[in-house]
Structure 1
Amino acid sequence: MKKIINEEYGIKILEMTKLGQYESFRLHQSQFLIVPVTHIEEDELYELYHLSQFMVEKREPYIASIVLTKNNNLFFEKDQAKYVIIKCSTYTEGRFHQIGRDLARFHQKGRTYPYQVTKIQRIGQWKFLWEKRIDQLESFWHGRVFSQPLNRFEKMFAESFPYYLGIAENAIQYLVDTELDEDPQPIDSGTICHHRFHSATWNSSMCIKLPTEWVFDHGSRDIAEYLRHLFFEEKQGINKNGFSFLDDYNRTTPLSVFSWRLIYSRLLFPVHYFECIENYYLSAEENKTVFEERLNKILEESSQYESFLKSYSRMLSINTRRIELPAVEWLS
């Protein structure tokens, strides 16, 4: 790795250390990360590179930027895998006391990006992506049921899938109704979001905002995924902490009715369940027990998650009493 980096970038690395999940090194008082990007297409990387450059120019704190090779390439290859070198911001110790406010400001800047985004664009595509995901998992489920599942995970999957399929279809219907009923406002234009935003994404001890984790989407994506993660992280404090997160965001950037309803449709869609099933079948044998335990936990907490979905409209009604969310019949 050191030899290839020296050839590609002209950087002589003396020592490599582990920083979180990434290999890293220091050079001239700066910290660099070596981030695998085999799963990201080259065109997507170019868009992420330009987005990160834009956010640096906007003086967004803690933005990491992709370093170009000597030949102005974005990545290098080793053992048929692709990597980028990311230069961290000079100041990496974060101070995130109000994550809702900080996220709202991040989204505000992202909305002012003046160029066309196509490859990492997700705004307006949820329905198509969700339906595709449901269809794939449903046909896979049929196959597992007919092949007589034997192990514990497959029995849980076989028995629980119809319930989560029903919820997912509800989420799509809720999304469609929202798009029919509500007019998007300026706040509803696309911005820089994360694949999955949660409390550790902007880690306060070593804050690095990685462009390789970004997509271009509606800001409700990050809000919903943060609340979902908060539920699984701290069920007892979800109403209090979820409310303060929403309140901080909404006071910084007031959300439209369209936004509130999009957040709810995304919370309804059981992406946590889908990802757990997919990750189990994609993981190596020695890692499968992790996803087996995770699925067991998701199923045990399904009624609590229903209660959380009910409580979302209560969080919102304290926030903005004038907004009434349409109820989901089976939940109410």
Structure 2
Amino acid sequence: MVKGTIKEKYGIHIRQLSMYQHTYQCFQTPNSFFLIVPVSHFSDEELAELYYMSQYLQEQSDPYVSVFIFTKEGELTFEHEGKTYALLKAAPPFSNRAFSIGTELAEFHRKGRGYPYEVKEAGRIGQWKDLWGKRIDQLEAFWQRKVHTPPHEPFDKKMIESFPYYLGLSENAIQYLVDTELDDKPQAADSGTICHQRMERNTWSSESLIRIPADWVFDHAARDLAEYMRHTFLHHRDDFNRQGFRFLQEYEQITPLSSFSKRLLYSRLLFPLHYYEIVEGYYISSESEKHYYEEQLDYILSDSGYEQFLNAAQEFMNMRAQNIFVPPVSWLGKGGL
């Protein structure tokens, strides 16, 4: 039991374990909240960078940040049943009824931009083009093999038929990103900040705004804005239809977006990350998990709304702009799957 390991390594007695956001094991003491976070996939260097980021945000008086707790031996991590974990400590979660995700994220990014140290292992700023290119090349090579090696399962057939469309969208995203970097200039607010690997709808909520360093990367703020918008549109469509781009308006009340930011954000929305994650997830998942990915692929292939979403995002970001900041993509809305 992990309870025994934590008692041995930290001297903390756990009365009851529960789950935080269906993701991390957690427990509480009278004054603190603790998260048990798997970190086997991080290098020691990346963990050290995440540790220093969390310390920095704590120094900036961020009330929600969780920080690494060292073991009695002074280690950043501990082993349990062959896996590596870190213990993170935060203030107990409390409900914040005045919670505004756009405002909170803008403040989080504002603090993160002041981070004074170089970030290498957890850094993603300026790397999107190369990372996307690798992802395209890998899936295209896999697609070619699938095309030429029948028989095909139903998922294979859908992937084979759909990939050329998403390849085209991906290449458009990279070209859009390249054009942005050639045609526009970053402003002060475009410097790197602490972001999330995937900023989703449930990353923060009015019940708990805990910041978890294991979720972080150092990148341009447009990463979080795009992923939050994408996730809301794909998985919380009713909310998106009601609220539209209010999230972005709330964010800009704190930090107005430069034209460079808007174009970067749009290039990331153009890149169909959700498609890649579904296809990649299916082929590395166990048999019991495959049904989830099959449902997800069916959902996005039967939904023609993503192109309309991209058009709406482009139009919204150009509202009140004297010049066209975010150029349209001419073929969007003129066909698809």
Number of the residue aligned with 1:42: 44
Secondary structure of 1:206's counterpart equals: coil
Q: Give me the TM-score of the superposition, normalised by structure 1.
A: 0.95
Number of the residue aligned with 1:105: 107
Letter in 2 for 1:62: Y
1:278 equivalent to 2:280? Answer: yes
Contact map agreement 1:88 1:208 (CA 8 A) in 2 = yes
Residue 325 of structure 1: CA displacement?
Answer: 1.8
Number of the residue aligned with 2:14: 13
Secondary structure of 1:318's counterpart equals: coil
Number of the residue aligned with 2:5: 4
Secondary structure of 1:215's counterpart equals: strand
Of the three residues 279, 283, 289, the one matched with 1:287 is 289
Secondary structure of 2:200's counterpart equals: coil
Residue 96 of structure 1: CA displacement?
Answer: 5.5
Secondary structure of 2:245's counterpart equals: helix
Please, which runs of 5 or more residues in structure 2 have no aligned partner? none
- Cα distance change, pair 190–203 in 1 and its aligned pair in 2 (3 A): same
Secondary structure of 1:202's counterpart equals: coil
Distance (Å, rounded) in 2 between the aligned partners of 1:141 and 1:204: 42
Distance (Å, rounded) in 2 between the aligned partners of 1:91 and 1:19: 10
1:73 equivalent to 2:70? Answer: no
Cα offsets for 1:204-251 (capped at 9, x unmatched): 223321111000000000000011011113335536524211111112
Deviates more, 1:321-330 or 1:172-181: 321-330
RMSD in angstroms over aligned alpha carbons?
1.6
Distance (Å, rounded) in 2 between the aligned partners of 1:329 and 1:318: 18
Distance (Å, rounded) in 2 between the aligned partners of 1:323 and 1:246: 18
Contact map agreement 1:149 1:155 (CA 8 A) in 2 = no
Distance (Å, rounded) in 1 between the aligned partners of 2:15 and 2:46: 31
Q: Give me the TM-score of the superposition, normalised by structure 2.
A: 0.94
Distance (Å, rounded) in 2 between the aligned partners of 1:234 and 1:11: 39
Number of the residue aligned with 2:152: 150
Contact map agreement 1:30 1:88 (CA 8 A) in 2 = yes
Aligned residues: 331
Number of the residue aligned with 1:134: 136
Contact map agreement 1:62 1:92 (CA 8 A) in 2 = no
- Superposed, which structure 2 residues align to 1:1-332 within 5 Å? 1-20=2-21, 21-95=23-97, 97-238=99-240, 241-301=243-303, 303-331=304-332
Task: Give % identity.
Answer: 49
